[in-house]
Structures are given as structure tokens and as C-alpha cells.
Amino acid sequence: MTLSEDLKWRGLIKDKTFADIKWLDTPRTFYHGVDASADSMTIGNLAAMMTARRLLDSGWKAVLLAGGATSLVGDPGGKNEERELKPREEIQKNVQAIKGQISMLFAGKEFALVDNYDWFKDVGYLEFLREVGKHYSMTELMQRDFVTERMGEGGSGISYAEFSYSLIQGYDYWQLYKNHGVELQIGGSDQWGNMLSGVPLIRKKENAEVHALSMPLVVNKATGVKFGKSESGAVWLDPARTSPTQFYQFWINVDDADAEEYLKVFTLLPKEKIEELISRHKAAPAERIAQTALAAEVTKLVHGQDAVDFAQTITEYLVGHRPIEEADDAAMQEVRQALPGFKAQPGVPVIEALVGTGLASSNTEARRLVQNKAVYVNGEQFQKDHLEAGDFKNGRLMLRRGKAYKDSALIELV
RNA sequence: GCAGGGAUACUCAAGCGGCCAACGAGGGCUGACUGUAAAUCAGCUGGCAUUUGCCUACGGGGGUUCGAAUCCCUCUCCCUGCACCA
């Protein structure tokens, strides 16, 4: 199967500037930019990263860009109000962290990693206006969606800085074309307008034809919510923010309706394998075959095979296939690392344990959970107000909020 | 610069002196049913305490009042119109 056929089958092509998708089948050099306003990517970024990986695997050369400069200004897209400006030191730290994550994801592959701050820091304002600004038509910029949304009735306004974002991204593309021979930019469809911005610029400056390709945003089919940061619990790639076990559990918990799409978007499994998994899944949905495969694959890509084995072991404890009191010292080390933990005396109020583990964010919320019978201890619904000595087995117990195992924590006696 | 309109909780959006921790919708959390799924139905959705209490909150600051999200002053930001404009 060719690259273009594969991308099409996976539903990764939304808009493109080239007429025939076969254009993708001749390897060239592409780039993809990541926002650096946080110090870790989320699974929202992962979707585009996986597409980058597919191009890479088909012989394309990759230039990955961490947006040290663009994050200083703030991307106006997808947001209905002006962003807070962040200090440069913070952005620089973020860039370093994101570079690290990219290196992990593409370990063993050849790719270039750049930071647009490196070329923007020396660009003068006048120079920029003459070289770049001159080529942008105000009339055309004013018609951009992000501009009309922000400026019309009910809009929250837009600053000149954010308005200029598009030009900055166009300039990036131009620099990458000149210095790295980049001929394609990929990204999520929310970036389409910005990605397009460099295409005419390069045509005018270099008399060259370059392209852009956007992929649909991953959306939860049931709730319609965009994947990534906006959902209450963002799922981060940084193991310090989202432990590999929680990461694994997130994928296990995915809706049936979404599992097929996620297999296509987030894993490198070939078409035949995915189709086989889906048909097996449909035959026996309760076995969650699709989710299990998805979780294993994605966790492996992001955190490595060891993390998968580890997460699967922890899951045995979570689900109760292995009682937690039987875990040996080595296993306990791992459990402690994977789950939120809390040390307590016998007789601690359940509320205190819920808050202490982060399963509830406040005492009030913890009380609500108790009232709603949402507390489980060692897999059983728990009705008492205190964790008594008898509830602990071998000095420990598993506390859970709700019935999904992903929200579990380990409570140990002091 | 002048005039008018606006800023309400995660989002949208009511309220326009006491009955407002604030209608409604979406989102989120939870329960029942299930399969760590969906759909459906139900509850919850500022915090602390917990049996009618307290604190914080309706853009910021100040004031009027027994009492303000609601009235007045002022500042910031947004929108509309006019004026100005290389």
C-alpha cells in the first residue's frame, strides 16, 4: 500500500494544496510545528506526530519545529480570546521539554529539530515588514475566519500581535524552504489557515511551489469534544504528568465508537491488522479487544514496551485479577510509582483519603462522591465513612472513584 | 476623541435592589443498567463546615443602601456609530 492510500484509509487527509494525493508518494522534506505554550505535548499533539511518523517511515525527511517564537506571540486560532503572554524563559524551558519528547517519539529515526526562535530573534521589524509583510494582502487577511470571528459583533477583539501570527508562520515556512528544502507542511485542520500562509509567500519570494496538508481534528464521537488539553483531565505524554499506567488506562477506557478511528490515527498497525481487530471486537465487544490493542500500541510508542508490560501488570491489580495484598516488594515499588498514593492510619476518614490521593479535588467533592456511592475499596462499593483496620489487607488497599479502573489509588498504612 | 451598547461560574446564556452560590443549555462528575463502552433514566456540578451556618464569587477599584450581580462614580477591555487619520 502506498503512503497516500494509507493516509486516505486512515482518514488523515482533510485539506491539501496539491491536486492528486499521489504527490505524497514521492518522498521529499516536510515540516510540522508544535506549540510551546506548555512543557509537554498531549495526545492532541500526538495525532499529528503520528502522521509525521508515517511520512518519515515512507522515506520523507522530517523537520520538526518547536514554536519558541510563535508561542511568544500566541496563536489566535481555536481560542475565543486573547492569550496571556508568557515569559521567554518559560517558553524556552517548554521548547526544551518538547524537543525531548519528540526525540523520544522518533527514537532511532533521522530528523531535524528546530526552534523558530533561532531565526526570529535576529529579524528586525522593518526588515520583516519589507520582506514578508509586503507580500500579504490586508483584504485577504481580514477575511480569515479567525479574524472575522474575533472582530465582528460578539467578538472579543484581537491584538495586532496575534493578528500577525499568520505572517510569522508563513515566514517559518519560507526559512525552512530555504535552509532545509521543505516542500510540505502538515498539521491539524485548525492550523489550515496558518499553514497556507507560507505557500503564496514562497511562490512570490522563490518562485517555487510548496504545499500544505491538514488532517481532521480528533473528536470524541460521543461528546463532540476536541481531543487533548480542553477536556477536564488532559492526557499528557510527560510521564510525570500522566503516568504510563494512567496513560494506558485512558486508552483502555475509550468508547467503542472511537476505538476504530483511534487505531487508525494513533497506531502504526497495518490495515489488515486493524481490520482484523475491529471485526473481532465487533463479534465480542465486551472483551474490549480494540481498546486493549490500542492501549498497548500507543503506550509502546510513547513510553516503550517496558511501560506496557508494567501497565498491564498494574492493571491486573486494578481489576482485581491479582489481589493487592499479595504483591511482593518489587511489585509494590511499581504500583506506588504508577498510582496516586496515600499513607494513612487505620480509621482515616474516606474523605481524607479521597482528597489525599487526588481522586477528589476538595472535601466537598469527596463528600459528594461518598453520598453518591461512588467509592470502591478493593473493588467493592464502600459505604462506611472510615477506612478501618479490617479494610486493609496486609497494610494496603485499593481505593477507587467510580467504576472505571483508571481512577484508582493505593492507600497504605503508615 | 465623542455618543451609545456590553463584560455573569468550564462554555454559551438569563437575572437588572432583598426569594441569588445566581434560571436554562452544553460540557464535566456520579449512580442505576451494562462491558473499565454507548444509549437511556436519575442525582450532583465555588469552597469550608455539615442537619437551617460561614467564606469567596457576577471585569478592577470606590460609593449609595439595613441590604447590590442588580443603582451611582471611576478605571480596564470589547462592540456599534460618528469624528479624526500617514
Higher pLDDT, A231 or A74: A74
Residue A279 has pLDDT above 90, yes or no: yes
Query: What is the pLDDT confidence band of residue A83, given thresholds at 50, 70 and 90?
Result: low
Q: A9-13, A178-182, A234-238, A277-281 — which is least confidently predicted?
A: A234-238
Query: What is the pLDDT confidence band of residue A180, given thresholds at 50, 70 and 90?
Result: very high
Residue A228 has pLDDT above 50, yes or no: no
Give the nucleotide with minimal C1' distance to the Cα of A374: B30
User: What's this model's pTM, rounded to 2 decimal places?
Assistant: 0.88
Helix (H) or strand (E) holding A242: none
Q: HSE-up of A29 (CA within 13 Å, CB side)?
A: 14
Q: Cβ atoms within 10 A of the Cβ of A126, count?
A: 9
Q: A76-85, A169-178, A214-223, A393-402 — which is least confidently predicted?
A: A76-85
CA atom of A338 to C1′ atom of B26, Å = 34
Query: What is the pLDDT confidence band of residue A222, given thresholds at 50, 70 and 90?
Result: low
Higher pLDDT, A94 or A280: A280
Residue A74 has pLDDT above 70, yes or no: no
What would the mean pLDDT of A63-80 be, rounded to a whole number? 70
Is the CB atom of residue A372 positioned under 7 angstroms from any atom of strand B? yes
Is the CB atom of residue A90 positioned under 7 angstroms from any atom of strand B? no
Please, what is the average pLDDT of chain A?
Answer: 87
Residue A108 has pLDDT above 90, yes or no: no
Q: Nucleotides on strand B with an atom closer than 7 A to protein CB?
A: 11-13, 27-32, 34-39, 43-50, 77-80
Residues 6+ apart with CB under 8 A from A88: A72
CB-to-strand B under 7 Å, chain A 32-61:
none
Is the CB atom of residue A282 positioned under 7 angstroms from any atom of strand B? no
What pLDDT was estimated at residue A321?
A: 87
Residue A79 has pLDDT above 70, yes or no: no
What pLDDT was estimated at residue A184?
A: 96
Q: What does the pLDDT look like over A282-328, one tens digit per residue?
A: 999 999 999 999 999 999 999 999 999 999 999 999 988 888 988 88
CB-to-strand B under 7 Å, chain A 311-370:
315, 318-319, 355, 361-365, 367-369
Is the CB atom of residue A404 positioned under 7 angstroms from any atom of strand B? yes
ipTM: 0.85
DSSP string, A162-214: HHTHHHHHHHHHHHHHHHH---EEEEEGGGHHHHHTHHHHHHHHH----EEEE
Q: Which three cell numbers stand for residue A147?
A: 479574524
Give the nucleotide with minimal C1' distance to the Cα of A156: B78
CA atom of A155 to C1′ atom of B26, Å = 20
Query: What is the pLDDT confidence band of residue A231, given thresholds at 50, 70 and 90?
Result: very low
